[in-house]
A and B are shown apart, each in its own frame.
Chain A
Amino acid sequence: MALKIEDNCISCGACLPECPNDAISEGDPLYIIDPELCTECVGFHEDPQCAAVCPIDECCILDPEYKETQEELLAKKARIHPEG
């Protein structure tokens, strides 16, 4: 499941440098997560890093529209980072 940024985002940008997949971009006015690039940090970290650094409660949350299994997320990671 990819994460998404809710509209309570304060656009502080804390999440931007944390994403191992460069899935986050600065939108107008809120930051956006590209679900095609989000792997919930699987393979890199135990927890999604955007949520870990976000100062807002319930801002970076799982997006129910993009349900993926652990295997699918790992496959996505392998696709984004073919070098490993």
Chain B
Amino acid sequence: MRKRKFVLVEPKSTHLHVYSRYTIPRLGVILLGTMLRDRGWDVKVYIEDVSPVDMDEVLSADIVGVSSLTSTAPQSYRLGELVRSHGIPVVMGGTHVTFCPDEALEYADYVVRGEGEEALFELIDAMDGRGPFENILGLSYWKSGRKVHNPDRPLKEDLDSNPIPDYSLVEGWHSNAIISIATSRGCPFTCTFCSVPGMYGHGFRMHSIERVIEEIRINKPQYIFFADDLFTANRKRTKDLLRRMIEEGLTPQWGAQVRIETAFDPELLALMKESNCFNVFVGFESINPKTLDLFNKRQTYEKIVASIKKFKEVGIRIHGMFVVGSDADDKETIYETSRFAREYGLETIQLMILTPLPGSPDYDQFYATGNRELLSKDWSLYDGHHAVYRPKNMTAYELNVAAIDAMEEFYSWKTILQSVLRKDIISTIIQTSSKNLLKAWKKQNRDYIQGLRDQVFDKAKEVAVHRDVKLSYRIGVPRFILDAEIGKSLTSFMTELGISVVPFGGSSPDSGGGLTSRLDWLRGKVDCIVMPVMEKSGHGQEEIYDKIQRLWKSLPRQKEDLPAMVKLFLDRQDGSLYSSMAQIAAIFTKDLDKVHKAYRSIMPSLSGNEVLTHVPVESKPVILRV
């Protein structure tokens, strides 16, 4: 009898990213492929980062499984759509679709939310008519033209009952050079940008040490990447594992993701070194203490510095992982991070742009609730290298440019030369490769960056189109706005840039004459009119909110011959205020550094402004369903 065929695909990102040159395979499709093979299926596993997907194989399958991250979701959906058009059922899984099952079902017949190793086999049984779909926990599916979401599945406790993932199933896999081994799942921390606890839980579930040792023995890798979310979450158990590796003589080079606390346990550090730890991927996240707090990272700048020294003392290489672009960061923070990494001699770094990933507390709190706006819903941009939201203290354009430029500053010839002089061949190779990668990234993303820049100069272009005289370097602002706290900050900001503020109207929109006549009066006197926008009336802000609403209502319909109007967003929780102020400033100058500097000078006064007060909302996990 012909074996039934299951093809599993892990599509790759369409954009270059920090790991483009170094494939560290994710384990999901390999594990599921191994389980399917053990149950008699003809299995093909494609990890697109390893080798191209053979569509003839995919389209000859009985079932196709697609694993998706947020940044690979568009690719996964394209594949799903194509496979379905050939009448082949598609099952999707992975982090992204776990939190966006409605979206994914547009391109799949079934979505397995959360961990898939049990749900997939229950699903196959149901597809074969051996059990109802209704009972499969974690499954989303179509029923009579409607999307159905079964309750979530509890996390798998007995990890050892899973087989050891068989890499030989991966098409094009011909090297045991780098192998991922997961020794645990879950992370006890709650960093606000991270979707790991949403997917794998806060509980720390572990494979037995025996099992991990067996996995190392079978794979005989030259380098192991321990694919745990936090390899040293349970230090006692990590020490036990490392001791066993040493006892068994199974000590290939290895690396893992760790927190800084790892460095403060001398016994652990010594065991790491003895067991041949090559490098640690440390989640420093930020050198800005305020950002560390916003991220709920629970670590301090001082301890970051101390941990680097400890790792260096024992000769373990550090890959510093940073997330830039929080509400407490500005451009300078990003360049400062790069300088910090050079000063403390980190071998490699990644400066990832804060990205609202579905499943993260940030996404649930700010974006799923509509409190903050996403600049793009093109998930392929959600890879940490593209700004997809409005940061608070810079424009999205500046954030994106700074993140890439600061990485380029790190991977400079100077850094590379220092590695050469230290005779550190591996760092030299990685740093040179990263330098080239960044150059290629800039080329690939030129249009995207230009698009972000164009948004800043949107109004400048409009004004340039409308005006037939030289700039007067004056802007019109409603008098009642100038009377408020924000008005003082706005005036200071404009003054810094050499721009005068001309008040118009009375202390309220209704006082003294119609708005039309007041706007007419401004014609020729100002280059633009600033129109305040408030979306909600917060406590104590009823009066100003009311005035703003009346201002907009009294706006004349015919605006063609009036000065250009620029919206000033006062109460959005994101960086709309900065973006709108930068838009106004960009009418008068192309020097965004100067604008940024002017904004920095008024930042202290803004932090106390009630209109801009950041109101935290209680974070609850949200599964996006239409």
| A interface, CB within 8 angstroms of B | 8, 10, 12-14, 18, 49, 52-57
Contact B189 A10 (CB under 8 A): yes
The list of the 6 closest CB pairs from A to B, nearest first, reads A12-B188, A52-B236, A57-B261, A53-B236, A55-B233, A53-B234
Contact A57 B264 (CB under 8 A): yes
Q: Please count the residue pairs between chain A and chain B whose beta carbons lie under 8 angstroms apart in the complex.
A: 41
Contact B236 A55 (CB under 8 A): no
Encode B169-208 as 1/0 by CB contact (under 8 A) with A. Answer: 0000000000000000000111000000000001110000
Residues of chain B within 8 A (CB-CB) of A14 are 188, 204, 233-234
Tell me if B518 counts as interface (CB < 8 A to partner A).
no
A10-B190, A14-B204 known; A55+B232 contact, CB < 8 A: yes
With A and B bound together, what is the CA distance between A76 and B279 in angstroms?
Answer: 44
Tell me if B590 counts as interface (CB < 8 A to partner A).
no
Encode B190-230 as 1/0 by CB contact (under 8 A) with A. Answer: 10000000000011100000000000000000000000001
Contact B261 A55 (CB under 8 A): yes
A8-B298, A12-B202 known; A55+B237 contact, CB < 8 A: no
Tell me if B392 counts as interface (CB < 8 A to partner A).
no
With A and B bound together, what is the CA distance between A56 and B596 in angstroms?
Answer: 38
Q: 8 Å CB contacts to A: which residues of B436-468?
A: none
Contact A56 B261 (CB under 8 A): yes
Tell me if B303 counts as interface (CB < 8 A to partner A).
yes
A49 in complex: contacting residue of B188, B230, B236, B303, CB < 8 Å: B236
Most buried by B among A8, A49, A57: A57
Chain A nearest CB, measured from B308 CB (Å): 15
With A and B bound together, what is the CA distance between A49 and B240 in angstroms?
Answer: 13
Chain B nearest CB, measured from A21 CB (Å): 17
Chain A nearest CB, measured from B181 CB (Å): 20
Chain A nearest CB, measured from B282 CB (Å): 14
How many B residues are at the interface, by size bracket? 10 to 19
Contact A55 B235 (CB under 8 A): yes
Contact A53 B235 (CB under 8 A): yes
In the complex formed, the residue of B with least CB distance to A58 is B264
With A and B bound together, what is the CA distance between A4 and B188 in angstroms?
Answer: 19
Tell me if B12 counts as interface (CB < 8 A to partner A).
no
With A and B bound together, what is the CA distance between A78 and B173 in angstroms?
Answer: 58
Residues of chain B within 8 A (CB-CB) of A13 are 188, 203
Chain B nearest CB, measured from A8 CB (Å): 7
With A and B bound together, what is the CA distance between A61 and B232 in angstroms?
Answer: 19
Provide a sorted-by-A list of 28 A–B residue pairs whose CB atoms are within 8 angstroms.
A8-B298, A10-B188, A10-B298, A12-B189, A12-B203, A13-B188, A13-B203, A14-B204, A14-B234, A18-B236, A52-B235, A52-B236, A53-B234, A53-B237, A54-B235, A55-B188, A55-B189, A55-B230, A55-B233, A55-B234, A55-B235, A55-B259, A55-B261, A56-B261, A57-B260, A57-B261, A57-B264, A57-B303
In the complex formed, the residue of A with least CB distance to B260 is A57
With A and B bound together, what is the CA distance between A13 and B205 in angstroms?
Answer: 12
In the complex formed, the residue of A with least CB distance to B189 is A10
Residues of chain A within 8 A (CB-CB) of B204 are 12, 14
In the complex formed, the residue of A with least CB distance to B264 is A57
In the complex formed, the residue of A with least CB distance to B204 is A14
Residues of chain A within 8 A (CB-CB) of B232 are 55
Chain A nearest CB, measured from B73 CB (Å): 30
Chain A nearest CB, measured from B564 CB (Å): 51
Chain B nearest CB, measured from A74 CB (Å): 23
In the complex formed, the residue of A with least CB distance to B237 is A53
In the complex formed, the residue of A with least CB distance to B306 is A57
With A and B bound together, what is the CA distance between A10 and B88 in angstroms?
Answer: 46
Chain B nearest CB, measured from A57 CB (Å): 4
With A and B bound together, what is the CA distance between A14 and B236 in angstroms?
Answer: 11
With A and B bound together, what is the CA distance between A49 and B188 in angstroms?
Answer: 17
With A and B bound together, what is the CA distance between A12 and B232 in angstroms?
Answer: 14
With A and B bound together, what is the CA distance between A12 and B190 in angstroms?
Answer: 10
In the complex formed, the residue of A with least CB distance to B236 is A52
Chain B nearest CB, measured from A69 CB (Å): 25
With A and B bound together, what is the CA distance between A13 and B233 in angstroms?
Answer: 12
Residues of chain A within 8 A (CB-CB) of B261 are 55-57
Residues of chain A within 8 A (CB-CB) of B235 are 52-55
Residues of chain B within 8 A (CB-CB) of A57 are 260-261, 264, 303
Chain A nearest CB, measured from B159 CB (Å): 16
Chain A nearest CB, measured from B260 CB (Å): 8
With A and B bound together, what is the CA distance between A53 and B232 in angstroms?
Answer: 9
With A and B bound together, what is the CA distance between A53 and B298 in angstroms?
Answer: 17
With A and B bound together, what is the CA distance between A56 and B204 in angstroms?
Answer: 14
Contact B234 A56 (CB under 8 A): no
Residues of chain A within 8 A (CB-CB) of B233 are 12, 14, 55
Chain A nearest CB, measured from B261 CB (Å): 4
Residues of chain B within 8 A (CB-CB) of A49 are 236
With A and B bound together, what is the CA distance between A13 and B234 in angstroms?
Answer: 11
Residues of chain A within 8 A (CB-CB) of B190 are 10
Chain A nearest CB, measured from B208 CB (Å): 15
Given contacts A56-B261, A57-B260, A57-B303, 6 further A-B contacts (CB under 8 A): A12-B203, A12-B233, A13-B188, A13-B203, A14-B233, A54-B235
Residues of chain B within 8 A (CB-CB) of A12 are 188-189, 202-204, 233
Residues of chain A within 8 A (CB-CB) of B264 are 57
Chain B nearest CB, measured from A6 CB (Å): 12
With A and B bound together, what is the CA distance between A56 and B236 in angstroms?
Answer: 13
Chain A nearest CB, measured from B296 CB (Å): 9
In the complex formed, the residue of B with least CB distance to A13 is B203
In the complex formed, the residue of A with least CB distance to B259 is A55
Chain B nearest CB, measured from A56 CB (Å): 6
Encode B250-277 as 1/0 by CB contact (under 8 A) with A. Answer: 0000000001110010000000000000
With A and B bound together, what is the CA distance between A14 and B261 in angstroms?
Answer: 16
Chain A nearest CB, measured from B153 CB (Å): 21
In the complex formed, the residue of B with least CB distance to A52 is B236
With A and B bound together, what is the CA distance between A12 and B202 in angstroms?
Answer: 7
